[in-house]
Structure 1
Amino acid sequence: MLNPKKIEQVIQQIQDSLPQGLKDLGQDAEAKLKQTLQAQLAKLDLVTREEFDVQTQVLMRTREKLVELEKRVDELLAQQNKA
C-alpha cells in the first residue's frame, strides 16, 4: 500500500538533519524510526498512486458514458416531440 522508497526518502531526510552524535546511534534507531513511520502512515488509510490512477480512469470512462447517454436521451426526446 505504501511506497517503501518514499518512506526511505523521508527517513533519510530526517537522518540528514540530525546532529552527528544522534546519527551515530546506529541501525536500531533507524529500524525503530522506519517501524514507527510505517505504522503511523498505515493509520492514515491512504490509497496508492496506482489505485488513484485506476479510479481516475474509471471516473473518466463513466463521465464519457454519461455524456453519451445524455445525448441519446436528448435525441429520443426530440424524436418524441416531433411525433
Structure 2
Amino acid sequence: MAKLRIKLNEILDNKGITQKQLKQMIDNKHFNGQDKFRTATISEIYNNQRKTLTKEHLEIIFDTLELDNINELIEMTDD
C-alpha cells in the first residue's frame, strides 16, 4: 500500500535548520512570536510518526520554509 512521506528531515538538513529553529520561525511568522506551534508536532512530522496532518500544518511549514512546490515536502512511497 502506498504511504505518504513527509520530507521535513531532508529539507531541514539541507537548509541547516534545526527543529527548534523551525518552531521559532513558524511562531514568529504565523503567530506573532507567540508559542503556538507545538514542538512535538514538528518532531512527529520530522520523524514521519504523525498519524494525522492538517492542511494548516502543511501550509504553515510550506510557507515558512519558502518552498516552491508541495512535492518538495511530501511524496508517496510504496512501503
Report the TM range for the smaller structure's normalisation.
under 0.3
Report the TM-score when normalising by structure 2: 0.28
Report the TM-score when normalising by structure 1: 0.27
Q: Which one scores higher on RCO, CA 8 angstroms, separation ≥ 6? A: 2
Highest CA radius of gyration, 1 or 2?
A: 1
* Structure holding more strand per residue: 2
